[in-house]
Structure 1
């Protein structure tokens, strides 16, 4: 596992996301209003909706297809919905965002 520089933090809008492609997987990198950064598989566990196009609020994102609420912290859907999507380690150093990815 290694850390891969993705972009400057300011390239991700507050309450927004950016998509990073790693192999066959699209990863949504999300920025909260208070500048915390999270990374999830960009596919909603319900019907595969693109989470990066959803609305970010607090530490959740609402899927744009059916409004499932997905935790940015652990990738789990809010009850009563059931399911989860993969999370990726992410960090911000010196104003840059890094993802921990398998090479």
Structure 2
């Protein structure tokens, strides 16, 4: 089985704030991009997994984690997992940076 991935330009790297969220829409998905202090960019679903679904681009970023603005759940930017004692996971997206361009790979 051959899997074909699509690379979509979603932002300019220079437009991404450090340690703050940047929201992009792809088809029916809202994706949160986060540029951390080492310059790496992560892409995750822009909704916390709890029932009230906090908007993660409004959360605080510390290291490679974002804190949900509603319930303060700590969510890993690298794998989308909510850290204990809370439980859950958000979808992550593969991100590529080339020159000043940020791509989502789906």
| Deviation of 1:96 (Å) | 1.3
Equivalent positions of 1:41-60 (< 5 A) are 41-46=45-50, 47-60=52-65
2:74 aligned partner: 69
Structure 2 CA distance for aligned equivalents of residues 16 and 52 of structure 1: 7
1:27 aligns with 2:31: yes
Structure 2 CA distance for aligned equivalents of residues 25 and 48 of structure 1: 14
| TM-score, structure 2 normalization | 0.90
Which consecutive segments of 4 or more residues in structure 1 shift more than 2 A? none
Structure 1 CA distance for aligned equivalents of residues 97 and 77 of structure 2: 16
| TM-score, structure 1 normalization | 0.93
Aligned CA-pair RMSD: 0.9
1:70 partner SS:
strand
The higher radius of gyration belongs to: 2
Structure 1 residue runs without a partner (length 5+): none
Count of residue pairs the alignment pairs up: 101
